[in-house]
């Protein structure tokens, strides 16, 4: 079986450089931190934290993991989702 080749690079999105990793097996990645810098260059981590408070983001990540991660622990994820749903709605959807 041929070795998986990975190519690191960047793409330009709205004038912002976004780091990428492209692989021969189709598992491609982009830097969420670089994307978040578009909204807040000084504190991209705050943007990512806000994304994680949005219910649709959490559901998307869970679905992605179910499809792409054979060792994904669905029961643990469902517990996390339940805990998030019990949080006050103001902390679930800020700046989403």
Residue segments in the chain with a per-residue pLDDT below the cut of 70 = 1-3, 88-96
Residue 90 is predicted with a pLDDT of 52
d(Cα 29, Cα 8) in Å, to the nearest integer? 9
pLDDT value of position 24 = 80
pTM for the complete prediction?
0.60
C-alpha distances (whole Å) from 8 to each of 25, 63, 68, 95 are 14, 26, 21, 31
């Amino acid at each position: 079986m041929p070795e998986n080749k990975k190519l690191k690079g960047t793409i330009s999105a709205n004038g912002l450089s976004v780091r990428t990793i492209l692989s021969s097996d189709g598992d491609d990645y982009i830097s969420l931190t670089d994307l978040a810098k578009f909204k807040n260059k000084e504190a991209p981590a705050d943007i990512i934290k806000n994304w994680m408070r949005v219910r649709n983001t959490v559901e998307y990540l869970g679905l992605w993991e179910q499809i792409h991660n054979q060792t994904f622990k669905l029961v643990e994820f469902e517990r996390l989702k339940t805990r998030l749903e019990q949080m006050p709605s103001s902390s679930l959807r800020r700046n989403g």
